Amino acid sequence: MSDTRHLLVADARRLPLPAASVDLVVTSPPYWKKRDYGLPGQLGQEATPAGYVEAVMQCLAEWRRVLTPSGSVMLNIGDSYHRRTLAGIPARIEAAAIGAGWLVRNRIIWAKTRGMPDPVRDRLAGRHEYVLHLTGRRYHYDLHGYAERYGNGANPGDVWSIEPERGLSPHLAPFPVELARRAIMLGCPRRVCGSCSTPSVRIIGRTADLDPSRPQARRAMQLAEEAGLTPAHIAAIQATGISDAGKAMQVQTGTGRNSADVRRLAAEAKAALGGYFREFTFARKVTTGWTDCGCNGPMRAGRVLDPFSGTGTTGVAADELGRGYIGVDLDPDCHAIATERGSRHLAPAA
């Protein structure tokens, strides 16, 4: 059992946690008018959509307090039918969040082919939900690490096809571990300075390695070899950064960014490679190191909070990825399941 997985019984709007103490919130609140948990103070049974959105905004204000300056929120949210119409809950939350100063950086679609039985005859069954990524102006984001795992290096896009997992309890609707895993990989730093809360981020270096499964890439490598292009030529292609060397020189002359040498090398490479020049701008990037804030103090693991933690799915993913975890839920009973899954109860902070 990990010492870094903790559970607290509290309301998501009043967290017994210090300011600036978590790096990412990953959570799925009860959706509006769906499940009645029968708990005093529960979220989700408000009389109107406006009342529900107001409660979610109170949560967001509290989460902003406990997040570090580079922290953000991955909010899993779905819509509800009320009097035969969709209530438009996700869109209402987005609008309110923007009004409160959040940036909606992504509206990720969680697509599923299976789902709850929906015995309707005059509309399609709902088979998607959203994960809203809500941030401040600056936020931690590891697109490189995520793209290596999910996109073969390219940006994998904002649709997550993940099948629901079988529930651990008839009363709870856990999201799949895979959903929490993706959110954490993107938004929670591996290591954070214990003194200044600055995350350590990847330093990315370029290589000359192309994807040999692409015929264009294989042809580019062949032409480069035949022409005897050097690593300096490849670096010059990448420095000019666009597909046509002539245009690059035209664009970049006067900016002072590329030296005459780089321009000459890029032009030579262009002459040798023709239209295959651009292939080297897609060369694989690698992690060459991690940034250091310079405090020289102790580092800690990034910390994920799930303020509607239920059965503790976010904790399972956090543990697997070596992050710390704090799970908060109003219901002490559901913490029993989370405890079985490896989290540890904490006495509420005084």
Ligand X SMILES: C[S@@+](CC[C@H](N)C(=O)[O-])C[C@H]1O[C@@H](n2cnc3c(N)ncnc32)[C@H](O)[C@@H]1O
By the criterion CB under 6 A, which residues form the site for ligand X? Answer: 11-12, 28, 30, 37, 39, 41-43, 172-175, 307-308, 310-311, 313, 328-331, 334
Kindly state the smallest distance separating residue 311's Cβ from ligand X, in Å: 3
114 φ/ψ sector (left φ>0, alpha ψ -120 to 50, else beta)? beta
Distance CA 68, CA 24 (A): 8
Kindly state the smallest distance separating residue 77's Cβ from ligand X, in Å: 10
Query: To the nearest 10°, the Cα dihedral for 60, 62, 66, 68?
Result: 40
Kindly state the smallest distance separating residue 331's Cβ from ligand X, in Å: 4
Nearer to ligand X, 30 or 189 (CB): 30
Nearer to ligand X, 16 or 156 (CB): 16
3-state SS string over 44-74?
Answer: CCCCCHHHHHHHHHHHHHHHHHHEEEEEEEE
Kindly state the smallest distance separating residue 192's Cβ from ligand X, in Å: 24
Nearer to ligand X, 199 or 310 (CB): 310
Per the CB < 8 A criterion, the answer to whether 214 and 302 are in contact is no
Query: To the nearest 10°, the Cα dihedral for 259, 250, 265, 210?
Result: 110
Kindly state the smallest distance separating residue 111's Cβ from ligand X, in Å: 18
138 alpha carbon, distance to own chain's centre:
14
Nearer to ligand X, 234 or 338 (CB): 338
Residue 243 tokens read as 């597909």
Distances (CA, A) of 83 to 50, 80, 87, 123, 283: 16, 10, 9, 14, 53
Cβ-Cβ contacts under 8 Å for 22 (sequence gap 6 or more): 66, 67, 68, 71, 303, 304, 305, 326
Kindly state the smallest distance separating residue 190's Cβ from ligand X, in Å: 23
Nearer to ligand X, 186 or 316 (CB): 316
β-pair type (191-193, 299-301): antiparallel
Nearest to 24 by CA among 77, 69, 90: 69
DSSP string, 164-224: PPPPSSTT--PPPHHHHHHHHHHHS-SEEETTT-PBP-EEEEE-S---TTSHHHHHHHHHH
Q: Which residue is nearest to ligand X (CB)?
A: 310
Q: What angle do CA 325, 80, 56 make, to 5 degrees?
A: 45
Kindly state the smallest distance separating residue 82's Cβ from ligand X, in Å: 18
Kindly state the smallest distance separating residue 43's Cβ from ligand X, in Å: 4
Distance CA 31, CA 271 (A): 59
Distance CA 93, CA 105 (A): 14
Kindly state the smallest distance separating residue 250's Cβ from ligand X, in Å: 54
